[in-house]
Amino acid sequence: MQVGKAIGEEVPIKIHYIWSWPHDQSVTDTWRVGRAFLAGDAAHHFPPHGGFGLNSGVQDVHNLAWKLVAKLRWNAGDQLLDSYEDERLPVAEFNGDQCMRNTRDLAKTGFLAEDKTFLTVIETDTEEGDRARKAFAEGVESQREHLASDG
């Protein structure tokens, strides 16, 4: 029913799989062991708020790929490969911290709560609807850092 409301048409929906994710952050402190490198969610995972997860993973690989080529084709020094962790670890921590801040700010709006009553009352012409619209408007305002992130 909510899907039909979102796309503006009731169409038959079959749910194949339901999956959830925790709102937490973790960043590995070991990005390389010999010839093995971690990249993407294997190295760091964040809550999705801010859209940093895949972006960070692509940037990891962008950082790593040319270094591997330099090592394999031109026998670059091993320190070049070590610089992968030096460069990516602080970025992953920075991005993860931002995602956690976004999550906490989003939680203040009530949007992350299990109880989504405001979604059903928000369109109603009632005092409860007024309250829900006001809370939602304030919530959007407080999400500037989240929604207008340069990262």
Minimal distance, residue 127 CB to ligand FAD, in Å: 33
* Backbone φ, ψ for residue 73 (5° rounding): -90, -35
* Backbone φ, ψ for residue 43 (5° rounding): -100, -25
Minimal distance, residue 147 CB to ligand FAD, in Å: 12
Residue 147's CB is within 10 A of a number of other CB atoms, namely: 11
Q: Which stretch binds ligand FAD (CB under 6 A): 6-14, 34-42, 85-93, 106-114?
A: 34-42
Which one among 31, 57, 81, 106 touches ligand FAD, defined by CB under 6 A?
57
Q: Which stretch binds ligand FAD (CB under 6 A): 27-35, 41-49, 72-80, 119-127?
A: 41-49
CA distance 63 to 69: 11
Quick one: 41 or 87, whose CB is closer to ligand FAD? 41
End-to-end distance of the chain based on CA atoms, in angstroms?
A: 35
For the four alpha carbons of 39, 42, 47 and 51, in that order, the dihedral sign comes to: positive
- Is 65 an interacting residue with respect to ligand FAD (CB under 6 A)? no
Quick one: 38 or 132, whose CB is closer to ligand FAD? 38
Quick one: 56 or 109, whose CB is closer to ligand FAD? 56
CA distance 151 to 73: 32
Residues that bind ligand FAD (CB under 6 A): 21, 40-42, 48, 51-55, 57
